[in-house]
Structure 1
Amino acid sequence: MEKIRTLFEQQVSMSDRDWEVFSSRLQLKTFSAKSNILEVGNTENYLSFIQSGMVRYFIPEELDDLTFGFSFEGEFMSAYDAFITRKPSVYNIQSLVPTTLWRIHYDDLQVVYDKSTVGNTIGRFAAEGLFLKKAKRELELLKETAEERYLKLFKERPELIKKIPLKYIASYIGITPQALSRIRKRIS
């Protein structure tokens, strides 16, 4: 839980009272590897911080899922569009490895916004982080080749990318597993 406070305090100073208002509403939840954290059709009720582990965001398809994102330890994760609209999610979130989350329920977050002096700043910080991740992903798809996207992902998360199945990485960068194998062979 202290990782969260440290992360927030990089952006805004928090009094012990504000931290108590926020942290008292956090719930610790652990998921085993390959567990669905959220499924299509369910409303996202939580904004979560990954204490340990990693998750993937994907659209389930009959033959091959379409993986479009990952979140790692020390990051916020949520089906944020479903969280803020209170509408059912159109994608799944799945743990890739055993994953531990600190989560805050939507209703509790509204209380934090109302009862703490930095509540809105905390919410904005989490929302901005999720938005920046989404914007970065969109720009990568528009401006970079599949090989550049693979190399960037490998450079940013070398220790973690080894734990992600290649079929998910291929889907994420928008190519087939066979094309990813050719890229990996060419750059090794």
Structure 2
Amino acid sequence: MKQLIDYILQYGHLNEEQINFVIQRSKVISLQKDECFSQPGKIPRQVGFVLEGVFRGHYYTNDGEDVTRCFIGENSLMVDYVNFEAQTVATEYLQACTDAQLIVFSKQSWDELSEKIESWDNIKNKMVQLCMYQKSRTGPVVSQDATTRYLEFINNYPTLINRVPLTYIASYLGVTQQSLSRIRKNIH
């Protein structure tokens, strides 16, 4: 729980009573590798904070191609926020790439934080802006060559290279797994 509180306090001040209220409104859950936190056709019901593990935001094209849009690691807020707030169905997956542990807030608990903690909306807005920025960050620039895209990936996600399947990284980079293997062999 300390990780979450430290994260929240980066964005504003809460007193001890408010911190306890946040803790009381949350719960810890575990997801196994490949389980989804959110998926298309279902209304997102929770806001998550990643304690352990890695998630990916992805979708399928009309041709059935699996496209990874972003990765979400430890100490990050994770939510399909627009659909969560509007209570409308998601269009993308938020899927565990590894076994994971999260702290989650239900929609009701999340709303209660706004009702009971005066500064919560300001704190929440800052956290959500960062979350949405990370999720909306477009993948590598396709006009760059594949090696440059891979080097940029290593720079942006240095701890993920050995934690997520290469097929997800290839999907994120917009290359085949065979191309990624060649690129990695030439670099390392």
2:106 counterpart residue number: 105
Q: Distance in 2 between matches of 1:77 and 1:145?
A: 30
1:52 counterpart residue number: 52
Q: Are the equivalent residues in 2 in contact too, given 1:18–1:117 (CA < 8 A)? A: no
Q: Deviations over 1:126-156 (max 9, x none)?
A: 2111122145x22743775443332232234
Are the structure 2 counterparts of residues 59 and 139 from structure 1 closer, same or farther at C-alpha, using a change threshold of 3 Å? closer
Q: Are the equivalent residues in 2 in contact too, given 1:55–1:70 (CA < 8 A)? A: yes
Q: Deviations over 1:57-93 (max 9, x none)?
A: 1114675422111100111111223212211111112
Q: Which deviates further from its counterpart, 75-84 or 60-69?
A: 60-69
Q: Distance in 2 between matches of 1:42 and 1:23?
A: 27
What residue identity is the alignment partner of 1:187?
I
How far is 1:173 from its partner?
1.6
Q: Which runs of 5+ in 2 are unaligned?
A: none
Over the aligned positions, Cα root-mean-square deviation in angstroms equals 2.1
1:16 counterpart residue number: 16
Quick one: percent identity of the two aligned structures? 24
Number of residue equivalences: 187
How far is 1:103 from its partner?
0.6
Q: Distance in 1 between matches of 2:158 and 2:95?
A: 20
Are the structure 2 counterparts of residues 90 and 21 from structure 1 closer, same or farther at C-alpha, using a change threshold of 3 Å? same
2:77 counterpart residue number: 76
Question: What stretches of structure 1 move > 6 A for 4+ residues in a row?
Answer: none
Q: Are the equivalent residues in 2 in contact too, given 1:18–1:118 (CA < 8 A)? A: no
2:152 counterpart residue number: 152
Q: Which has the higher helix share?
A: 1
Structure-1-length-normalised TM-score = 0.88
Q: Which runs of 5+ in 1 are unaligned?
A: none
Q: Distance in 2 between matches of 1:113 and 1:32?
A: 31
Three-state SS of the structure 2 residue aligned to 1:47 is: strand
What residue identity is the alignment partner of 1:111?
E
Q: Distance in 2 between matches of 1:150 and 1:53?
A: 22
1:178 counterpart residue number: 178
What residue identity is the alignment partner of 1:7?
Y
What residue identity is the alignment partner of 1:51?
L
Are the structure 2 counterparts of residues 13 and 139 from structure 1 closer, same or farther at C-alpha, using a change threshold of 3 Å? same
Are the structure 2 counterparts of residues 147 and 72 from structure 1 closer, same or farther at C-alpha, using a change threshold of 3 Å? same
Structure-2-length-normalised TM-score = 0.88
Are the structure 2 counterparts of residues 89 and 53 from structure 1 closer, same or farther at C-alpha, using a change threshold of 3 Å? same
Are the structure 2 counterparts of residues 105 and 132 from structure 1 closer, same or farther at C-alpha, using a change threshold of 3 Å? same
